Structure 1
């Protein structure tokens, strides 16, 4: 492993989990598009599973009491179906068209969130929207570890309390990461010492980023949280599109 390459990976992980500490999501969709420029996609995705589990355990044990579990009960069954498809595509299919799709989705949705940052949500959308959001969220989570924007798009239209939204997203990522871990153990994607070793080496940057982000989170207003979400989505979507196009 090149020292400069590893130092850049540490910086990417620190920034990604600083944002995760603030918002409860965003770590993978920011880090994966950058890390795949240094490491193979099939190494980055399972490595992020290991890091995400540790990060979600750290955040989830502090904020799970604020999570809205009723919303997650609707998302998870459809997410599992999407994950099964995503794991199959990760093994079999080319990634470029799907990454372009996700990049467009993230960037457009980020612009929408920023545009509406100062408006209050009027009526929550129907819970039946959990079906498409859960399915596509599960698919992209398994494929690229980047389903967070899809889940926050749905949950942000169902939950108006920023504290509850952050806690619900953190718990969702924790639970879905365990599902991804199970599927990747079955397929053998995660049973690689280089993958496990890289994840362990990146842990200090992970926890430092979360710790700082969590302290910043307590000082943010509802409007500021929406700016954070929107900015994450626009940045992540743009990075995906730049890499692919």
Structure 2
């Protein structure tokens, strides 16, 4: 029942986690799930947390996107999404059938290493983009982790960050990517029945106002950040989220 999910201590932790996660989303255009899921699964079941974040993420992406989607690089996403969809089909299967620990450990390492790379290169204003054929592995594994744990954001920002130099365009492209991927996840979870739960829907409704407060605050901070500061924000999110996943798996 939904009342079991709003036990005061657990729900207070969920409110703080969601507020922080969507503040980060407002600043960067991604990061809500990779920050929140490793913490929320400490108090709620994975099969409640992941579908709940799908519901909140799709509303959050619509809220952010109404102002920023015009800046998104749609051509990059057209190349990326077909491989993402293939990965998401595999991810939904693994969510139902496979153990999560080894995959979360791999994702944590990947996120942390790429976060360090972004921080080291934060003052580089221009560089040659990597080949678009890297969209095949990045898209596939990003889709798989997005479906599995709602944590594919670091994979996508790692790829798009090596293709797009403009932080404003990168943020808008990530926000649009999160919306489209969340919509695909929503469709797959409706088909499999994972999202058709009063626990999932009720908790999402209760936490939605907190998410919008976080987004509003983060969006106002974003407008004041320089290019180097945006890279520091991206890199810090990747390192933090990767470290959280690693600590959770090790402990």
TM-score, with structure 2 as normaliser: 0.97
Structure 1 CA distance, aligned partners of 2:55 and 2:11? 17
* 1:91 maps to 2:119: no
Residue of structure 2 equivalent to 1:35 = 40
Match of 1:155 among 148, 160, 179: 160
Report what 2:143 is aligned to: 138
Q: What whole-Å deviation, never above 9, does each CA across 1:148-185 have from its counterpart, x for those lacking one?
A: 00000010011111110000000000001000001001
Q: How many angstroms does 1:121 deviate by?
A: 3.2
Question: How far, CA to CA, are the matches of 2:92 and 2:125 in structure 1?
Answer: 37
Residue 65 of structure 1: CA displacement?
0.4
Alignment pair present for 1:26 and 2:9: no
- Distance in 2 (alpha carbons) for counterparts of 1:186 and 1:121: 43
For residue 204 of structure 1, report the CA deviation from its aligned partner.
Answer: 1.1
Q: TM-score, normalised by structure 1?
A: 0.99
| 2:176 alignment partner in structure 1 | 171
Is the CA contact 1:32–1:144 (under 8 Å) kept in the aligned structure 2? yes
* Distance apart, 1:62 and its partner CA: 1.0
Q: Is the 8 A contact 2:127 2:165 kept in 1?
A: no
Greater displacement, 112-121 / 34-43: 112-121
Deviation (angstroms), 1:119 = 1.2
Partner residue, 1:12:
17
Question: C-alpha offsets along residues 81-108 of structure 1, whole Å, 9 cap, x if unaligned?
Answer: 0000000000000000000000000111
CA deviation profile, 1:214-238 (whole Å, cap 9, x unmatched): 0000000110000000100110011
The answer to whether the 8 A contact 1:121-1:157 is kept is no
Deviation at 1:7, TM superposition (A): 1.0
